[in-house]
Amino acid sequence: MNLHEFLVSPAETAQRHGPHDRIVMSSRVRLARNVRDAAFPGWAKKPERVKILEMIRPAVESLPEMKGAFSEAMDNLGALDKQILVERHLISREHAAKSSGSGLVLNREESFCVMINEEDHLRMQALRPGLQLRQAWGAIDHLDSELEKKLDYAFDNELGYLTACPTNLGTGIRVSAMLHLPGLVLGEQINPIIQSVNKLGLAVRGLYGEGTEALGNVFQVSNQMTLGETETTIVERLEKVLAQIIEHEENARQTLLEKKPKVVFNHIGRAYGILANAHSISSKETMNLLSLMRLGVDMGLFPGAERSLVDELFILTQPAHLQKQFSDKLSAEERDLLRADMVRDRLKNVSRPVTKPTPPNTGN
Amino acid sequence: MDEKKMCSICKEKPATLFFTKISSDNKKQNVDLCDACAKAKGVDADPTALLIADADVMLGLGAALEVEQAVGTDLKCPRCGFSQGDFKKSGRLGCPGCYVTFAEGLRGLLKTMHKGTRHTGKAPEALRSTRENADKLKTLQAKLTKAIKDENYEQAAQVRDEIKQLTGRPAPTASPK
């Protein structure tokens, strides 16, 4: 099966909506599971990993949720396809580096993605647009309950689900949301917020997770601790913290518009100016400027423009997605030219930002 | 003479970044990183990146350090051959059985890493009833011991019957004399 044909198009992905998606771009709940009596993927020799993959993959494929899924061994995916999956946030960078003995099962709606033999035998995730942590937990809980009938999980009465890294022990759960926080960044409030979120035992990471930069003002917030609390308690804590972050971000945007309108208009106007007129632009600069344009759309400064256009460009301008649209192997410089051409073309019908916001686009 | 601090991770190169982790009970722990290890951990000189990486780095590093203090390095898992030294290197275990092999050293580590040391969340359906029974049994046995101590034999007999019902056999240890 061809991955590119299978994946939902960036245009369609950008059209998906969920609660609070002005700020919360997506929600995800991931569970780590391992089968009994087998070494964890990082320690298992290749033949053992292959055996585990051959046992787990059919079990996952047979789930009703996975009807018509894309299922592939990682060694059958090219570097470009793997990078596209990373840019779509469907697999981790760590999983992209795997080859034989690891696999991937992704359902048609891209609401479930199961990584086999990443750090654990199973890393299954439920993904939802907007703020839908509870729904994502419900979905993955159900998938997990179906799967446990087919696989013998490594579970200990005292310690819960046993995982390769002790940091995931117990529930094996990671609940996370991807947040767009340009207001807090521009208002220089982001660092104290990150610190207080850290104090609550939650991690704040960059766009691609562990150890990455917050490109495009996108941050991931997730739980760190997995043992000693129920999954529901963890989900509820995240929900509470996210509600507060959303409120802070909304307030920050409001305050910026009231107290420093020129600063806001300047940032957004320059972002538009460069995006709409550049002839060479890096992926990093594109993302940071698209973030400001997204803020402008949210503030009603681009009447008639849809947030989905910005979100689509956010996906399309990333290196692997850009490369995929051209058959020849491109150098970074060539990509920068083509990226600029594409962005200019897509923005040709978007007028420059107004300074009297039309009634803010409330989203939902 | 000025002695150079070495990196807490590789222990080979001199450290250039110095952290002090202060836990909630005000205990201080120093973590020093060299450039290469800092980069590998996603920490560089950019202070925002630092803040973002902070929590991860500290959890991961603190863990490795504590394990080092907790046990020697020659213990090996009989099931998979993974050694304590391997854990120190990777921060990952070899197989589910390692949790039994290294239980001793892991205990303190889990305490600092998590909210609690006992799993209270979801369990596989097949084990759920046994889990619940085990919990119930514990409570009942405590109740029985107390009843006997209080010489409340009527209640003791009742609790004993409940235990019998739960386990399908008579309560072994706590029959009143």
Query: Are the C-beta atoms of residues A226 and A170 closer than 8 Å to each other?
Result: yes
Residues A12-24: what's their mean pLDDT? 94
Chain B environment of A162 (Cβ under 8 Å): 96, 99
Residue A33 sits at φ, ψ, to 5 deg, of: -135, 150
- Give residue A212's pLDDT: 63
- Give residue B175's pLDDT: 43
A213: its two tokens: 């930069």
Say yes or no: B103 contacts chain A, CB-CB below 8 A. Answer: no
- The residue that leads in pLDDT, A130 or B161, is A130
- Beta strands A24-33 and A173-180 are antiparallel
A283-298 helix and A307-316 helix, angle to the nearest 10 degrees: 170
Name the residue type at position B33.
L
DSSP string computed for chain B: --PPPBPTTTSSSBP-EEEEEE-TT--EEEEEE-HHHHHHTT--S-HHHHHHHHHHHHHHHHHHHHHHHHS-S--B-TTT--BHHHHHHHS--SSTTHHHHTHHHHHHHHHHHSS-SS--S---HHHHHHHHHHHHHHHHHHHHHHHHHTT-HHHHHHHHHHHHHHHSS--SS----
Spatial separation of the C-alpha atoms in residues A274 and A149, rounded to whole Å: 55
Partner-chain contact A227 B52, CB within 8 Å? no
Chain B environment of A202 (Cβ under 8 Å): 55
- Give residue B139's pLDDT: 85
A and B: number of Cβ contacts within 8 A: 147
Residues A129-150: what's their mean pLDDT? 97
Chain B environment of A211 (Cβ under 8 Å): 41-42, 53, 56
Say yes or no: A200 contacts chain B, CB-CB below 8 A. Answer: no
Partner-chain contact B120 A212, CB within 8 Å? no
- Beta strands A218-223 and A202-205 are antiparallel
pLDDT, one tens digit per residue, over A338-352 is: 999 999 999 999 999
Tell me which residue in A145, A166, A228 faces B116 most closely, judged by beta carbons: A228
Chain B environment of A154 (Cβ under 8 Å): 96
Name the residue type at position A206.
G
Query: Are the C-beta atoms of residues B6 and B13 closer than 8 Å to each other?
Result: yes
pLDDT > 90 fraction of chain A, expressed in percent and rounded:
90
A133-147 helix and A231-259 helix, angle to the nearest 10 degrees: 150
- Give residue A70's pLDDT: 97
Residues A174-198: what's their mean pLDDT? 94
Spatial separation of the C-alpha atoms in residues B67 and A219, rounded to whole Å: 31
- Give residue B54's pLDDT: 45
Alpha-carbon gap: A361 to the closest alpha carbon of chain B (Å): 30
Name the residue type at position A47.
P
Tell me which residue in B48, B56, B90 faces A203 most closely, judged by beta carbons: B56
Name the residue type at position A288.
N
Alpha-carbon gap: B131 to the closest alpha carbon of chain A (Å): 7
pLDDT, one tens digit per residue, over A51-66 is: 999 999 999 999 999 9
Q: Using the predicted structure, report yes or no on whether residue A100 has a pLDDT greater than 80.
A: yes
Chain B environment of A231 (Cβ under 8 Å): 121-122
Q: Using the predicted structure, report yes or no on whether residue A361 has a pLDDT greater than 70.
A: no
- The residue that leads in pLDDT, B131 or A169, is A169
Beta partners for A73? A103
Beta partners for A178? A26, A220
Partner-chain contact A205 B41, CB within 8 Å? no
How would you classify residue B66: left for phi > 0, otherwise alpha for psi between -120 and 50, otherwise beta? alpha
The three-state secondary structure class of A347 is coil
A33-47, A112-126, A176-190, B48-62: the lowest-pLDDT one: B48-62
- Give residue B25's pLDDT: 57
Spatial separation of the C-alpha atoms in residues A231 and A29, rounded to whole Å: 10
Partner-chain contact A40 B124, CB within 8 Å? no
- Give residue B23's pLDDT: 55
Average pLDDT of chain A to the nearest whole number: 93
Spatial separation of the C-alpha atoms in residues B61 and B20, rounded to whole Å: 12
Q: Using the predicted structure, report yes or no on whether residue A39 has a pLDDT greater than 50.
A: yes
Partner-chain contact A164 B125, CB within 8 Å? no
Largest CA distance in chain A: 65
Reported as a pLDDT band with limits 50, 70 and 90, residue A26 is very high
In the block, tokens 């239980």 appear at B103
Say yes or no: A167 contacts chain B, CB-CB below 8 A. Answer: yes
A143: its two tokens: 């998938």
- Give residue B72's pLDDT: 52
- The residue that leads in pLDDT, A269 or B68, is A269
Tell me which residue in B52, B60, B131 faces A206 most closely, judged by beta carbons: B52
Partner-chain contact A224 B59, CB within 8 Å? yes
Query: Are the C-beta atoms of residues A178 and A311 closer than 8 Å to each other?
Result: no
- Give residue A124's pLDDT: 98
- Strands (DSSP E) found in chain A: 24-33, 70-73, 103-106, 112-116, 122-129, 155-156, 160-161, 173-180, 202-205, 218-223
Partner-chain contact A148 B127, CB within 8 Å? no
* Angle, CA of B11, B14 and B15, to the nearest 5°: 90
Residues A102-123: what's their mean pLDDT? 97
For residue A79, the surrounding DSSP H or E stretch is helix A79-87
The three-state secondary structure class of A121 is coil
A52: its two tokens: 């585990």
Spatial separation of the C-alpha atoms in residues B176 and B119, rounded to whole Å: 33
Chain B environment of A153 (Cβ under 8 Å): 124
10-residue mean pLDDT profile of chain B (177 residues): values are 65 71 58 72 49 46 49 78 90 95 91 93 85 80 89 88 74 45
- The residue that leads in pLDDT, B7 or A143, is A143
In the block, tokens 């106007």 appear at A269
Tell me which residue in B109, B125, B134 faces A145 most closely, judged by beta carbons: B125
Tell me which residue in B41, B49, B97 faces A213 most closely, judged by beta carbons: B49
Residues making up chain A, counted from first to last: 364
Write b or e for each residue in A32-58: b if 16 or more Cβ atoms lie within 10 A of its Cβ, otherwise e: bbbbeebbbbbbbeeebbbebbebbbe
Chain A environment of B113 (Cβ under 8 Å): 166-167, 225, 227
pLDDT, one tens digit per residue, over A216-244 is: 999 999 999 999 999 999 999 999 999 99
* Distance from the first to the final alpha carbon of chain B: 74
Query: Are the C-beta atoms of residues A245 and A221 closer than 8 Å to each other?
Result: yes
B125-149 helix and B153-167 helix, angle to the nearest 10 degrees: 160
A158: its two tokens: 């005292």
- Give residue A25's pLDDT: 96
Q: Using the predicted structure, report yes or no on whether residue A357 has a pLDDT greater than 90.
A: no
Query: Are the C-beta atoms of residues B44 and B38 closer than 8 Å to each other?
Result: yes
Spatial separation of the C-alpha atoms in residues A331 and B63, rounded to whole Å: 41
- Give residue B10's pLDDT: 75
A165: its two tokens: 């890294």
- Give residue B81's pLDDT: 94
- Give residue B140's pLDDT: 86
What radius of gyration do chain B's Cα atoms show?
24
Tell me which residue in B51, B110, B125 faces A227 most closely, judged by beta carbons: B110
Partner-chain contact A164 B113, CB within 8 Å? no
Chosen for mutation from B41, B44, B52, B127 (greatest number of chain A CBs closer than 10 Å) is B52
What radius of gyration do chain A's Cα atoms show?
21
